[in-house]
Amino acid sequence: MNTLFILLSSLPQLFMEGGLFTMSILTVILVGMLFAAWKAPAWVKEIGIAALVVSIISLGFGWYNAASAVEAVKGEISPYLIWSGLKCGIVTLVYGLIIYLVSLIIRIIRKPRL
């Protein structure tokens, strides 16, 4: 119970670490996917793939910006700073993967039975 409370209390912090713009886009995609599960079930998997692609693109942009920052200071940067930046990029990727997993689960549940 204590672990669940800690996880739920850190969700807003993870949302901000992942980047407000990209995490908001992924949340809109998640809401759209849940709506599509109700109205247009054939689109659920494609919307989940879109969330995955958006998170991978965001990760690429984040790593590019991190590499540019390291290049600007001529490599004189602490490993702690690099790893904390990589952690923030991974948050977006994990959120996109979770949305994709939810889309697959919805598709399995909604699949017509034989």
Q: What is the mean pLDDT of each run of 10 residues along the chain (114 residues)?
A: 62 78 91 90 90 92 83 78 80 91 90 69
Provide the whole-model pTM.
0.82
Supply the pLDDT for residue 7: 60
Residue 27, CA atoms < 13 Å, CB-side half-sphere: 11
